[in-house]
Amino acid sequence: MRSTSNPAFRHLPTGNAGYGQYGPNVGFNQPQGGVPGYGLPQAPAGAGDRPMTVDDVVIKTGLSLGTALVTGVLAAIWAQGQADVRALGPVLGVMVVAMLIGLGLSLVMIFRQRPSGPMTLLYSAAEGVFLGAITGLFEMIYPGIALQAILGTAGVFIAMLVVYKTGAVKVTPKLTKWIIGATAGVVILMLANLLLSLFGVNMGLRDGGALAIIFSLVVIGIAAFNFLLDFDMADRMIRQGMPSKWAWFAAFGLMTTMVWLYLEILRLLSYLQND
């Protein structure tokens, strides 16, 4: 499988465990132009699970997203109810706990490299609480920002899916390397900014100024292009005939990118509200 900047899709087993007797699977349908890795594997006798399809990915991703939306809305409503500044402690505590739970579950899934419906849904629920609590606080300061962030995230996701399906941007090895390098670069910058901020050093990447706005736009663009890699990896999993249970892993990978994108859009909108 081709590399991807999303750690959820690193080092996945190949589809040669085999489901070729089911015939060709149709994935997200980007014209491949001879890109290797889309051969039909041969299935061993007695294979116990049907091959993964695009419907499996759509359904599992929808369930994961729906779980995050439900827990997120509930968390946002609860956070907004803590209008008294003195009551923000519990909100921050819930945010930290949900963030740590989501991080822990994601690390387990990434290093285990095994699909799990319950873990994917738990991860989605934890991230929903985390994002919902943050969104509730932002909504108190900037009314209407939550809907804008949700619509912005949905718009970027749909736009990149259309770009991928139409083949307007081909996921080539060169593009893949560029996206991985860009992702690593912004992550390093964000970590450096966080560490330096602990010592009172302001790099200007998160202070709401012009540089912060430009940086957020760059990060949003890179996150958007990560969707292309996620779609491509899910497509390869489908075309290589991996078992249907791996659709949960594809959904998990898509959710990690979506969480990152939503946070960055929410941050950018808060900067623009201050201008």
Per-residue pLDDT reduced to its tens digit, 85-144: 556 778 888 999 999 999 999 999 988 888 889 999 999 999 999 999 999 889 888 999
Proportion of the chain above pLDDT 70, given as a percent: 80
Query: In 3D, which of 132, 144, 138 has the Cα closest to residue 74?
Result: 132
Please answer whether residues 52 and 246 qualify as being in contact, where contact means their C-beta atoms are separated by less than 8 angstroms.
yes
Q: Which two tokens stand for residue 29?
A: 């349908």
Going by pLDDT thresholds of 50, 70 and 90, the confidence category of residue 198 is confident
Is the entire prediction scored with pTM above 0.75? Answer: yes
Task: Tell me how far apart the alpha carbons of residues 10 and 236 are, in angstroms, rounded to a whole number.
Answer: 13
Going by pLDDT thresholds of 50, 70 and 90, the confidence category of residue 262 is very high
Q: What is the pLDDT of residue 73?
A: 93
Going by pLDDT thresholds of 50, 70 and 90, the confidence category of residue 4 is low
Q: What is the pLDDT of residue 20?
A: 40
Task: Tell me how far apart the alpha carbons of residues 3 and 262 are, in angstroms, rounded to a whole number.
Answer: 24
Going by pLDDT thresholds of 50, 70 and 90, the confidence category of residue 82 is confident
Q: What is the pLDDT of residue 39?
A: 33
Q: How far lies 233's CA from each of 57, 113, 160, 270, in Å?
A: 11, 14, 14, 33
Please answer whether residues 133 and 98 qualify as being in contact, where contact means their C-beta atoms are separated by less than 8 angstroms.
yes
Mean pLDDT, rounded, for 16-43:
39
The residue type of 267 is R
Determine whether 187 is exposed, middle or buried from the number of CB atoms within 10 Å of its CB (0-12, 13-18, 19+): middle
Whether the pLDDT of residue 34 is over 90: the answer is no
Task: Tell me how far apart the alpha carbons of residues 86 and 187 are, in angstroms, rounded to a whole number.
Answer: 33
Q: How far lies 164's CA from each of 17, 171, 224, 233, in Å?
A: 27, 8, 11, 12
Whether the pLDDT of residue 272 is over 70: the answer is yes
189: Cα separation from own chain's centroid: 19
Give residue limits of the domains in the chain.
52-274
List, in sequence order, every residue forming a beta bridge with 243; answer none if it has no partner. 51
How high is the mean pLDDT of the chain?
A: 82
Whether the pLDDT of residue 14 is over 50: the answer is no
Please state at what angle helix 247-274 crosses helix 117-141, rounded to 10 degrees. Answer: 10
Q: What is the pLDDT of residue 32?
A: 41
Whether the pLDDT of residue 24 is over 90: the answer is no
